Structure formats: structure tokens, C-alpha cells
Amino acid sequence: MRKRFGKTYKLLATSLAAIMLTGMIAGCTSDKAKESNEPKVLRIGVMYGGGGNDQYFRQQFTDVYEYTHQNVTIEIVPAINSDQFRYAENQSYQPPDTVKSLKKLMTGSNPVDIIVSDTNSLKKLIDENLLKQLDPMIQEDKFDTADIVPSVIDGIKQMGNNNIYALAPTFIPSALFYNKKIFQDAGVEVPKDGMTYDDIFNLARRVTKGEGNDRIFGLAFNQYNGASASDDVYKFVQPLQLRYYDEKAEKMTVNTPQWEKAISTIAKLRKDKVIFENVQMNSPQENQAYNPIDNDVFMSGKTAMVMGNIGLVTELSGMKEAAKTNKKVKAFDWDVVTMPTHPEKPGVGGDIYLNNYMSINASAPNPETAWDFIKFLNGPEWAKIKARSTTYEMVSRKSYIKPVNGLNYNVSAFYKLKPVPPANANDEKLQIEKPGIFGVAMVGQTFIQEVIDNKKTPKEALQAWERKGNEMLQELKKNPKTQFQPDGTPYIPPADGSGFKG
């Protein structure tokens, strides 16, 4: 995804430089006056380095701070250098233990001051008491957290037993996009905030029409052609936090009424061709120019509603401009509402992604400077600047979240809901110790597709998945390094490190 943003990074770096030179960050001068002019080194531990990550992080976060705090030199210290894996002689895939690597940065003779982590890593570091609680500093400095969007601040508190151990200046949210014209043509009311999945499914049925290549589907869980029925099922159950196996990875847990209901629901919608299914899109013919929206199920007008992240706003804006010069591109009016929710989890469904949680190491040599940095990056002055150059993410402060590119859409739909709680902290450990455990979930694709193909009932599919999954879990118990073919057959990588061939 980062390749897509290459031009954005350059524009961001340029705009930040211009903004800094104009002295717009006036709110920082009072903090600087209070600080000692003694040179300081602030060491920031990040999860991954190499491949341009350091440059991106500096452009995104640290350049502006160093400009306004010229006595502070920032060092970026990666827990895992991705180049080591990219150029390793042995290409056998072994997922790195990110938390273990981060902990190495936090201890020893030269510990880092700040840790930048994702949801799973942050939760583990909190549980092991490796981070400073930020609440006392927030209260002492009267730092405003009321303006931080609920889906971000509530999620942070959720991980810290209602305490704050990190702040995140940006996030990538999702919402439900809809095509106004399709609803208007069908004479159906458009969706609104706060709808359940059943509400959205009912609307989807009412706007579905046509046959073959002319069919208009009611809903897609993903904007790109190629998603499978199992992909839809997995996304559908994510807010319910349904598990594939128990916490010890010894027994399957899919053969339950909740899983059966989920598969039955998605299978029925797929069979009735209400949810978008893989189809032959408008493939370019010989001597015909490539159309970039052909494989996009929403932008091509093939579906009335789609679940998409904030980046789709930028793509739709670009499509509107392209339509002025390309007759093959058909722009349309659209808007967004909150993601659908499950009645069992009211108000929960915020599909947000955060990978820039900023925390202070409990053993930080410079905790005051670390807090000043976090406060600066999560404060209103920085949010005001950042909001102007944000296209594929949002700033976390509500006051500075506005529709982009002069558009008019329901921007609050992206942050109204509470986020789905983080995964069980033990799950990532299992995935590291047993890399092949991903196959236990993936083998379910076969059985779910058999429901779509009328070869099995949902109950029969779950029973078959349970049996195969339990066999796979037993293989992993005997040999944690076992990997699996798509059908669940064990595959043990050869000793020469040539890796998984399945």
C-alpha cells in the first residue's frame, strides 16, 4: 500500500517544510521556552525499519518536531529491519516476534524513550507493565483528550483498563459507501447511520437488479473484484470476535450456532446474487485502452453499497475529475454512513486501523522530552497542519476532520462507532510459535464455498471444518513448525530453507 502513497509522501514533505518556514506552529514556542537548551537525543523505537520506512516516518512525524525543537536530535531505532528478511539467504518464512523485538529496544544499556506500535503489540506491552501511564501527565498539563475521536480514544482506554498508555495522531477508518443514483433509480431510501447488518442486507435486496454483466449488486464487503464467500464471512463475524480455535490452539471452536448463522446468512445472500460475487468485469479488448476502474466493483457502478476505507474518498474524487476528460469513466453522486453493526454488539463496528500508537517506555531515559513529543504530535497545532495533507488517513482530532477536496459527505460516519476490541494477546504469540496456524482458518474457505455450491449445509460444512481443523491443530502440537497446503495437508519445509511451495 505504501507504494501508492509515494507521491503523497513527497507532497507531505514539501508542504511541511513550507508550513514550518511560515511559522504557523505558534503554539510550540511556549513549550520551547520552558525547556532547557541542553542538547538531547530522543530515541524512538519503531516496529519495522529498512526499505524507506525511516524516511517516511521522519517526513510524517519527526521533521517538524526537530525543526521546532532544535536542541532535540531524534534517532529512529527499528525493532525489526525488514531488509534483513528481504535479502536473507534462507528465504523460509518465519514471522518475527515483534513484541520480543520491541522489548529488546526497551531494556539494556541504551533503551529507547518512545515506542511506536500497533494494536496487538501495544496491548501486550501494557499487560507486561512496560509502558508509562500517560494519565498523570495529561492531567498535569491539562492536555485536551475530549477532542480525540471516540473510536480512537475509547479503543486506547479499552486496552489499558480505562487508562491511557498511548496516543495515536492519525488513523485509517472505514465506512459504508453508497451510490445515490442506484437508490434513486430503484425508488429505495438511502442507508443511514446506525443501521444493523440486517437493515443493510434488506436495502441491498431491494436495489439489486439485472442479469449477467448488467447486474447491479446490492452490497460488496470489498471494493475489488476477487473476494470470496469466506472473505465476506470472516469480515462479517469480525465484530462478534468469533474464534476459530481455543486459546491454547488445541481444539476448534467453529461448530457453533453463531458461526452457523453467519455462514447461512452470507451464503443465502451470495446464492441470491445480492452480495457481489466474482464476475468477468469489462476486460479490455485488443487495441482498447485500460480503464483503471474496471476491476473496482463500486467505482464501476456494479454495486450499490461497499465497505471501504477513507482512501476510497480520494479515489472517488479523482474519478470525478477523470470523468471530465474520459468518457468511459462515469462519475456518480455518493455518500457514506457508519459501518453496519450486530445487535449483539450495539455501537461496535468501527473498522479502523492504527499502527502509530505512541507510548513512553517505562525505562525511558528522557521521559519528559518523550511526553513533549507525544503531546506535540497529538496536539491541535499538528492536527491542523496534518489535516491539510491527509488523503489516505484521518487526524485523530475531531475539530480538524473535514471533507477533503471541497467535497460534501457525511464525514463523521468514519469515526462514530466504537472500534472492534483488539484480538486476544495470546493469539499473536501462537501465530509466531506456530506459523502454520493461519492454515486452520484458511482451510475453512473450501467448506464455506461448498455451502455456496450446495454441496453441504452450513452445519455440515462446520462439522467438516471442525474435523479437519482439529487434525491440523494436532499436527501443530506435534511439530509447531508444520505448515499446510490449501486443503489442510501437512507440509514441512525442507531443511535447505527453500520454503513453502503450496
Between CA 151 and CA 347 the distance in angstroms is 10
Cβ contacts of 476 within 8 Å, gap of 6 or more: 249, 434, 436, 437, 482
pLDDT digits 0-9 by tens, 83-139: 666 555 554 556 578 889 999 999 988 999 999 998 888 988 999 999 999 999 999
Between CA 153 and CA 174 the distance in angstroms is 17
User: How high does pLDDT run on average in the chain?
Assistant: 85
Q: Return the minimum-mean-pLDDT range out of 79-88, 205-214, 382-391.
A: 79-88
More confident residue, 333 or 9: 333
Q: Return the minimum-mean-pLDDT range out of 130-134, 249-253, 429-433.
A: 429-433
Task: Kindly tell me if the per-residue pLDDT of 313 is higher than 60.
Answer: yes
State the pLDDT at residue 88: 52
State the pLDDT at residue 235: 93
pLDDT digits 0-9 by tens, 346-365: 988 877 888 799 999 999 99
Give 69's pLDDT tier (boundaries 50, 70, 90): very high
State the pLDDT at residue 158: 86
Q: What is the pTM of this model?
A: 0.85
Kindly give the interhelix angle for 444-452 and 458-478, rounded to the nearest 10 degrees: 170
Left, alpha or beta for 23 (phi > 0: left; psi -120 to 50: alpha)? left
Q: In CATH terms, are 2-172+352-419 and 174-227+276-349 the same topology?
A: yes
Please, how many CA atoms are within 13 Å of residue 36, restricted to the half-sphere of its CB?
7
Please, how many CA atoms are within 13 Å of residue 140, restricted to the half-sphere of its CB?
9
State the pLDDT at residue 89: 53
Percent pLDDT > 70 in the chain is 83
The total of other beta-carbon atoms located within 10 Å of residue 328's CB is 12
pLDDT digits 0-9 by tens, 437-496: 999 999 999 999 999 999 999 999 999 999 999 999 999 999 998 999 989 999 765 555
**Cα dihedral across residues 97, 309, 166, 37: positive or negative:** positive
What's the average model confidence in pLDDT over 310-338?
91
State the pLDDT at residue 334: 97
Residue 66 corresponds to which amino acid? E
State the pLDDT at residue 42: 97
State the pLDDT at residue 36: 63
Q: Where are the domains of the chain?
A: 2-172+352-419, 174-227+276-349, 425-491
Give 286's pLDDT tier (boundaries 50, 70, 90): very low
| CATH topology for the 174-227+276-349 domain | D-Maltodextrin-Binding Protein; domain 2 (3.40.190)
Task: Kindly tell me if the per-residue pLDDT of 4 is higher than 60.
Answer: no
Between CA 284 and CA 322 the distance in angstroms is 18
pLDDT digits 0-9 by tens, 14-26: 344 434 433 444 4
Phi, psi of 80 (to 5 degrees): -135, 125
Question: 2-172+352-419 domain in CATH 3.10.450.710?
Answer: no
Cβ contacts of 152 within 8 Å, gap of 6 or more: 168, 171, 352, 354, 396, 415, 419
